[in-house]
Structure 1
Amino acid sequence: MFKKLFGKKSKGPDKDDTSNINKEGQANEQEKPRKHHYEFGKFTLPMMVLGHPEPFISNFLLEDGQQKLRNVWNNIGEKLPPSDRMPDDGLELVKRVAKNVICMGIIMPKAISPNELHFSYVICDKEDYTKIRIFGLEKGREPCPYENPTVLAEWNKMGRLTYDAAPKPDFIEFEKYVFSIMADEIQVRTFTDFRPMGWFSDSDEASPEA
């Protein structure tokens, strides 16, 4: 799986060819999430983190982790119709290594449709990479009953949790909310069981439907 996703330096779509890029302006608040953005953030990343935690951490901690992340994004795009492909503009990897934990933040290309991710955040035990969690801040629909139109979610091998929090789409604020969840200061709002979809199959070829 990992070799297929970031084993080569995919250059991504040609940014000068407007025929093969899903431009930011082509989506609006009423549309479904863009397929490239959605599959990267809400399927591929959780599967990589939870299904293969040790190679995920080991590879993305390397000096070329940023390029590997871009390769994953662009290699996903190569499997999509040209009209669904997006450039990797804005995709960024933030790495923080503390005494006991490794943290990796992923800043996504700008989320403009509901159900796309603003950010992802991975935390794992420094001595045991299998003790790992992955969070995301999703763009919500407007109007919404909360102060900010966002959804703070977590994926695990059972499904997807959402939390009783709606931080603004700011990476530093999102990171603080994740730490509050780790400290059990924020409660779970909902839980959805996605196991029948086979997202976290032991097979490297598992490919969930969007």
Structure 2
Amino acid sequence: MTDPRPHHYRFAHRELPRQVLEYGPRLASPTPDGGSLLPVVVGIWEDYGQTLPPEHRLPSHGLDCRHLQVDGHNILLVVLPAPQGATEAHFVAAVHPKGTKKVRYLTLEHGISPIDGSVDTVLGEWDANGHVNYGRGPSPVAELFVAAVVEKVTKKRFWQR
């Protein structure tokens, strides 16, 4: 099993969720002028890299983001540089579900089976309490991840019926 690279893992699982949960729905909502948050996301990536030893820093090649609106939910989809290690993320999404005041942060992580070495994905979420593992995720295709995210944020739990 390949260990995650510190820059990649900590950006997707520590630094970006911290900022998403701090800034809330504003981050998931499209900017009034329709501009891109890519310079901001790249800046966060690069600033975070400066806190790491030089040998752990990674270039931002492949990093991208865009705002989407799906079924009334505002989503900031972030595409990460290609993952190599287990738990590195293919994508993350900052989601402001319609009708709520909070933002949610979901990940599609690169998974490698410790049993046979097969490659798969894991759908996860970070919140104020930590990480939630939802199990096997979709193939690492942006549209499939977005569909899984929308399904997850609209699914009512048994106590909400």
Instruction: With the length of structure 1 as denominator, give the TM-score of the two structures.
Output: 0.64
1:84 counterpart = 2:56: yes
Q: Unpaired segments of 5 or more residues in structure 1?
A: 1-29, 188-210
In terms of Rg, which structure is larger? Answer: 1
Instruction: Quote the sequence identity (%).
Output: 27
Q: How many residues align?
A: 155
1:171 counterpart = 2:150: no
Confirm or deny: 8 A CA contact 1:180 1:186 kept in the other structure.
Answer: no
Query: Which residue of structure 2 aligns with residue 38 of structure 1?
Result: 9
Q: Does the residue aligned with 1:104 lie in a helix, a strand or coil?
A: strand
Query: Which residue of structure 2 aligns with residue 140 of structure 1?
Result: 111
Which structure: greater strand fraction? Answer: 2
Q: Which amino acid aligns with 1:76?
A: Y
Q: Does the residue aligned with 1:149 lie in a helix, a strand or coil?
A: strand
CA drift of 1:127 comes to 7.6
Query: Which residue of structure 2 aligns with residue 117 of structure 1?
Result: 89
Q: How does 1:1-210 map to 2 (within 5 A)?
A: 30-53=1-24, 56-57=27-28, 61=31, 63-97=35-69, 100-125=72-97, 130-142=101-113, 149-184=120-155
Moved over 6 A (4+): none
Whole-angstrom CA distance in 2 between matches of 1:104 and 1:83:
30
Whole-angstrom CA distance in 2 between matches of 1:174 and 1:54:
20
Whole-angstrom CA distance in 1 between matches of 2:145 and 2:28:
21
Change over 3 Å in CA distance of 1:182–1:54 after alignment to 2: closer
Whole-angstrom CA distance in 2 between matches of 1:54 and 1:99:
16
Q: Does the residue aligned with 1:89 lie in a helix, a strand or coil?
A: coil
Kindly report the root-mean-square deviation, in angstroms, between the aligned alpha carbons of the 2 structures. 2.7
Moved more, 95-104 or 178-187: 178-187
Q: Unpaired segments of 5 or more residues in structure 2?
A: none
Whole-angstrom CA distance in 1 between matches of 2:71 and 2:140:
28
Instruction: With the length of structure 2 as denominator, give the TM-score of the two structures.
Output: 0.82
